[in-house]
Amino acid sequence: MAIVLYGVSTYNCQRVTSALLEFGIEDFELIKVDLKEREHFSPEYLAMQPFHQVPVFESGDYRLYESRAIVRYFAEKYKDAGPSILGSTLEEKALVNQWVDTEAHQFNDFAFAPWSMEYLMSWRLKRPLDEALVAPLYEKLGYFLDVAEKQLSKTKYLAGNFFSLADLNIAPSLLRVSVLQPELINDRKNVRAWFESITSRPAFKKMLEADKGWRFPYGPFTNEEAQKLRTS
């Protein structure tokens, strides 16, 4: 059954694309949903994803949304393609899930998502950054990365000495952190090494290539600088 992924360029879409590529699946169609044109509010799209969000996974009649549910499905379905990114024992799986949820809540919901959204809005609307909004979120990001720094002094990856769903899920977001405020990553030795490792994986690089329309839209980057990011 042909695989179709709806949604490109956002960090949660990139999460799904990189997951598919991790499992050696290269034969899929990547379809842009034009968020600026509010394509995600069209009746056709809402029939697929009633919360008007990207991404959506489709294979024949079967559709799935919520990027973290989609990547989990891939990890189960393609379990035999390589070492399990879900973890092998019950305890390993539990720790993977703990870090997947920590990324979702402590990193993404409480810090990264609103923080990066403010950068996007200030660039798009050509207005200054709301410092009062950004400053406490920056602190929360720092706190999360301090916790990660400590964990990564004990294990090579977040949930253990194996690359897992937790590392996969955070990688596209961390790329944006590294461009917006690189010191958040560079000032933390273990975080920096881990970041280099997870963003230099072949699947991650292939994902950036596959997402051909992707450029870093948060400015003030010239297209040249963004291009460098895409091909480095």
Partner 1 sequence: MGIVVLGSYLSPYSLRVLIELEELVVDYELKPVNIKQGEHRTPEFLKMQPFGQVPVLQDDDLTLFESRAITRYLAEKFDGQGTPLLGKSMKEKALVNQWVEVESQNYDRPLIAIVEQVVWKPSWGKTTNEEIVAAEMAKLEKVLDVYEAQLTKHKYLAGDFFSLADLGHLPGTHLLVNIGKKGAVFADRPHLNAWWEDISSRPSFKKTMAKTP
Which residue ranges make up the site for partner 1 (CB under 8 A)? 50-51, 62, 64-66, 68-70, 72-73, 76-77, 90-91, 93-95, 97-98, 100-102, 104-106, 109, 147, 150
Asked if residues 197 and 164 have their Cβ atoms less than 8 Å apart, the reply is no
Residue 96: CB minimum distance to partner 1, A: 8
Rounded to the nearest whole angstrom, what is the least distance from the CB of residue 202 to partner 1 in the complex? 26
Q: What phi and psi values does residue 86 have, to the nearest 5 degrees?
A: -90, -15
> Least Å distance between CB 215 and partner 1?
26
Min. distance of Cβ 59 from partner 1 in angstroms? 10
The answer to whether the CB of 151 falls within 8 A of the CB of 107 is: no
Q: How far is CA 86 from CA 144, 165, 168, 191, in A?
A: 22, 6, 11, 21
Q: Which is closer to partner 1, CB of 120 or CB of 147?
A: 147
What is the Cα–Cα distance from 126 to 201, expressed in whole angstroms?
35
Q: Which is nearer to partner 1, 144 or 216 (CB)?
A: 144
Cβ nearer to partner 1, comparing 89 with 232: 89
Q: Which is nearer to partner 1, 101 or 196 (CB)?
A: 101
Select 93 or 192, whichever has its Cβ closest to partner 1: 93
Structure tokens at 213: 């329309």
The rounded distance, in Å, linking the Cα atoms of 217 and 222 is 9
Contact 138, 183 (CB under 8 A): no
Q: How far is the CB of 229 from partner 1 (least distance, A)?
A: 28
Is the torsion defined by CA of 111, 113, 117, 120 positive or negative? Answer: positive
